[in-house]
Amino acid sequence: MLKLETLISEQDIQRRIEELGAQISKDYDGKEIIMLCVLKGGVMFMTDLAKRVTVPMKMEFMAVSSYGDEYKSSGIVKILKDLDEPIDGKHVLIVEDIIDSGRTLSYLKNILEGRNPSSVKICTLLDKPDQRVVDVEVDYVGFTIPDSFVIGYGLDYHQFYRNLPYIAVNKGE
Ligand code: 5GP
Ligand code: MG
Ligand code: MG
Protein backbone atom coordinates (compact mmCIF):
# COMPACT_ATOMS: atom_id res chain seq x y z
CA MET A 1 0.00 0.00 0.00
CA LEU A 2 1.14 3.50 -0.74
CA LYS A 3 1.23 5.98 2.07
CA LEU A 4 0.74 9.33 0.42
CA GLU A 5 2.05 12.60 1.66
CA THR A 6 1.18 15.88 -0.06
CA LEU A 7 4.16 17.55 -1.68
CA ILE A 8 2.31 20.31 -3.59
CA SER A 9 -1.29 21.16 -2.68
CA GLU A 10 -4.11 21.65 -5.14
CA GLN A 11 -4.26 25.33 -4.22
CA ASP A 12 -0.53 25.85 -4.81
CA ILE A 13 -0.73 24.09 -8.18
CA GLN A 14 -3.66 26.24 -9.31
CA ARG A 15 -2.03 29.44 -8.11
CA ARG A 16 1.18 28.64 -9.98
CA ILE A 17 -0.75 27.76 -13.14
CA GLU A 18 -2.40 31.18 -13.06
CA GLU A 19 1.07 32.76 -12.99
CA LEU A 20 2.38 30.54 -15.79
CA GLY A 21 -0.70 31.25 -17.91
CA ALA A 22 -0.22 35.00 -17.47
CA GLN A 23 3.47 34.75 -18.35
CA ILE A 24 2.82 32.62 -21.44
CA SER A 25 0.02 34.95 -22.60
CA LYS A 26 2.40 37.90 -22.27
CA ASP A 27 5.32 36.18 -24.00
CA TYR A 28 3.21 35.08 -26.98
CA ASP A 29 1.22 38.31 -27.25
CA GLY A 30 0.13 38.85 -30.86
CA LYS A 31 0.93 35.24 -31.78
CA GLU A 32 -0.97 31.99 -32.09
CA ILE A 33 0.22 28.88 -30.32
CA ILE A 34 -0.16 25.16 -30.51
CA MET A 35 -0.19 23.73 -27.01
CA LEU A 36 1.08 20.20 -27.34
CA CYS A 37 0.28 17.87 -24.49
CA VAL A 38 2.44 14.82 -23.98
CA LEU A 39 0.07 12.04 -22.97
CA LYS A 40 -0.86 10.84 -20.54
CA GLY A 41 0.97 12.60 -17.72
CA GLY A 42 0.56 16.12 -19.06
CA VAL A 43 -3.21 16.02 -19.44
CA MET A 44 -4.31 17.58 -16.12
CA PHE A 45 -1.73 20.34 -16.41
CA MET A 46 -2.64 20.99 -20.05
CA THR A 47 -6.35 21.45 -19.40
CA ASP A 48 -5.85 23.76 -16.41
CA LEU A 49 -3.08 25.77 -18.07
CA ALA A 50 -5.02 26.18 -21.32
CA LYS A 51 -7.81 27.93 -19.39
CA ARG A 52 -5.32 30.57 -18.25
CA VAL A 53 -3.86 31.31 -21.69
CA THR A 54 -5.44 34.28 -23.44
CA VAL A 55 -3.71 34.19 -26.85
CA PRO A 56 -5.35 32.16 -29.65
CA MET A 57 -4.39 28.54 -29.16
CA LYS A 58 -4.98 25.06 -30.50
CA MET A 59 -4.71 21.90 -28.43
CA GLU A 60 -2.75 18.98 -29.78
CA PHE A 61 -1.83 15.67 -28.19
CA MET A 62 1.07 13.31 -28.70
CA ALA A 63 1.59 9.93 -27.12
CA VAL A 64 5.12 8.65 -26.80
CA SER A 65 6.50 5.57 -25.14
CA SER A 66 9.96 5.88 -23.76
CA TYR A 67 11.07 2.26 -23.49
CA GLY A 68 11.98 2.02 -19.89
CA ASP A 69 10.43 0.95 -16.67
CA GLU A 70 8.04 2.82 -14.43
CA TYR A 71 10.77 4.92 -12.93
CA LYS A 72 13.41 5.50 -15.60
CA SER A 73 13.20 6.41 -19.25
CA SER A 74 15.70 5.00 -21.73
CA GLY A 75 15.89 7.88 -24.20
CA ILE A 76 14.59 5.79 -27.06
CA VAL A 77 11.25 7.35 -27.76
CA LYS A 78 8.60 5.81 -29.98
CA ILE A 79 5.74 7.98 -31.25
CA LEU A 80 2.45 6.17 -30.59
CA LYS A 81 0.21 9.08 -31.57
CA ASP A 82 1.45 11.99 -33.63
CA LEU A 83 0.10 15.52 -34.08
CA ASP A 84 -2.97 15.88 -36.29
CA GLU A 85 -1.54 18.84 -38.22
CA PRO A 86 1.78 19.99 -39.66
CA ILE A 87 3.59 22.56 -37.51
CA ASP A 88 5.73 24.40 -40.04
CA GLY A 89 5.65 28.12 -39.33
CA LYS A 90 3.81 27.53 -36.03
CA HIS A 91 4.74 28.29 -32.43
CA VAL A 92 4.67 25.06 -30.46
CA LEU A 93 4.56 24.92 -26.68
CA ILE A 94 5.16 21.42 -25.33
CA VAL A 95 3.25 20.79 -22.10
CA GLU A 96 4.78 18.09 -19.90
CA ASP A 97 4.14 16.73 -16.45
CA ILE A 98 7.74 16.27 -15.30
CA ILE A 99 11.30 16.39 -16.58
CA ASP A 100 13.61 13.91 -14.98
CA SER A 101 16.60 12.73 -17.04
CA GLY A 102 15.50 15.03 -19.87
CA ARG A 103 15.77 12.19 -22.41
CA THR A 104 12.12 12.11 -23.48
CA LEU A 105 11.83 15.83 -24.06
CA SER A 106 15.15 16.39 -25.78
CA TYR A 107 14.28 13.59 -28.21
CA LEU A 108 10.79 14.98 -28.79
CA LYS A 109 12.02 18.55 -29.19
CA ASN A 110 14.52 17.42 -31.83
CA ILE A 111 11.83 15.63 -33.80
CA LEU A 112 9.54 18.67 -33.70
CA GLU A 113 12.32 21.10 -34.64
CA GLY A 114 12.94 19.00 -37.74
CA ARG A 115 9.45 19.94 -38.95
CA ASN A 116 10.31 23.65 -39.39
CA PRO A 117 8.14 25.29 -36.74
CA SER A 118 8.67 29.00 -35.92
CA SER A 119 9.54 28.01 -32.35
CA VAL A 120 9.40 25.11 -29.93
CA LYS A 121 9.30 25.86 -26.22
CA ILE A 122 8.81 23.63 -23.21
CA CYS A 123 6.50 24.13 -20.23
CA THR A 124 6.73 21.54 -17.48
CA LEU A 125 4.79 21.44 -14.24
CA LEU A 126 7.63 19.74 -12.38
CA ASP A 127 11.38 19.69 -12.82
CA LYS A 128 13.77 17.28 -11.09
CA PRO A 129 17.13 18.80 -12.12
CA ASP A 130 19.16 16.43 -9.88
CA GLN A 131 18.45 13.57 -12.28
CA ARG A 132 19.27 15.38 -15.52
CA VAL A 133 21.33 13.31 -17.98
CA VAL A 134 20.58 15.19 -21.21
CA ASP A 135 20.77 18.96 -21.31
CA VAL A 136 17.41 20.34 -22.39
CA GLU A 137 16.34 23.96 -22.31
CA VAL A 138 13.16 24.37 -20.29
CA ASP A 139 11.31 27.64 -20.80
CA TYR A 140 8.60 27.43 -18.13
CA VAL A 141 8.75 25.45 -14.88
CA GLY A 142 5.91 25.16 -12.37
CA PHE A 143 7.90 23.75 -9.47
CA THR A 144 11.45 22.50 -9.02
CA ILE A 145 11.40 19.44 -6.76
CA PRO A 146 13.98 17.18 -5.16
CA ASP A 147 14.65 13.72 -6.55
CA SER A 148 11.79 11.54 -5.35
CA PHE A 149 9.08 9.61 -7.20
CA VAL A 150 5.93 11.71 -7.25
CA ILE A 151 2.35 10.88 -8.25
CA GLY A 152 -0.93 12.66 -8.78
CA TYR A 153 -2.21 15.47 -11.00
CA GLY A 154 -1.55 13.41 -14.14
CA LEU A 155 1.45 11.47 -12.82
CA ASP A 156 0.88 7.77 -12.34
CA TYR A 157 1.94 4.81 -10.29
CA HIS A 158 1.26 1.77 -12.50
CA GLN A 159 -1.36 3.90 -14.29
CA PHE A 160 -3.26 4.72 -11.09
CA TYR A 161 -3.40 7.94 -9.05
CA ARG A 162 -3.39 10.29 -12.06
CA ASN A 163 -6.70 11.74 -10.83
CA LEU A 164 -5.37 13.12 -7.54
CA PRO A 165 -5.83 16.91 -7.62
CA TYR A 166 -2.47 17.38 -5.83
CA ILE A 167 1.11 16.06 -6.09
CA ALA A 168 2.10 13.43 -3.56
CA VAL A 169 5.11 11.38 -2.56
CA ASN A 170 4.99 7.85 -1.28
CA LYS A 171 6.16 7.46 2.30
CA GLY A 172 5.18 3.80 2.58
CA GLU A 173 6.65 0.46 1.37
P1 5GP B 1 12.74 11.69 -18.55
O2 5GP B 1 12.86 11.25 -19.98
O3 5GP B 1 12.84 13.18 -18.36
O4 5GP B 1 13.67 10.93 -17.65
O5 5GP B 1 11.36 11.15 -18.06
C6 5GP B 1 10.22 11.84 -18.14
C7 5GP B 1 9.04 10.90 -17.93
O8 5GP B 1 9.30 9.89 -16.92
C9 5GP B 1 7.89 11.73 -17.41
O10 5GP B 1 7.14 12.30 -18.46
C11 5GP B 1 7.13 10.70 -16.59
O12 5GP B 1 6.27 9.97 -17.41
C13 5GP B 1 8.21 9.78 -16.03
N14 5GP B 1 8.62 10.21 -14.68
C15 5GP B 1 9.79 10.79 -14.32
N16 5GP B 1 9.82 11.06 -13.01
C17 5GP B 1 8.62 10.68 -12.52
C18 5GP B 1 8.03 10.71 -11.20
O19 5GP B 1 8.59 11.17 -10.19
N20 5GP B 1 6.77 10.20 -11.09
C21 5GP B 1 6.07 9.68 -12.16
N22 5GP B 1 4.85 9.22 -11.92
N23 5GP B 1 6.60 9.63 -13.41
C24 5GP B 1 7.86 10.12 -13.58
MG1 MG C 1 5.37 12.91 -19.25
MG1 MG D 1 4.36 6.77 -15.94
What would the pLDDT profile of 104-131 be if each residue is shown by its tens digit? Answer: 899 999 999 999 999 999 999 999 999 8
CA distance 61 to 119: 17
Pocket of ligand 1 (CB under 6 A): 41, 66, 73, 96-104, 149-151, 155-156
Model pLDDT, residue 166: 98
Active-site pick, 100, 130, 139, 147: 100
Helices 10-27 and 43-50 pack at an angle, to 10 degrees, of 60
CATH 3.40.50.2020 fits 9-151, yes or no: yes
Between the CA of 28 and the centroid of ligand 2 the distance, in Å, is: 24
How much is the average pLDDT of 69-98?
A: 87
Between the CA of 31 and the centroid of ligand 1 the distance, in Å, is: 31
Model pLDDT, residue 77: 82
Q: For ligand 1, atom 24, name the residue with the nearest CA.
A: 71
Q: Where are the domains of the chain?
A: 9-151
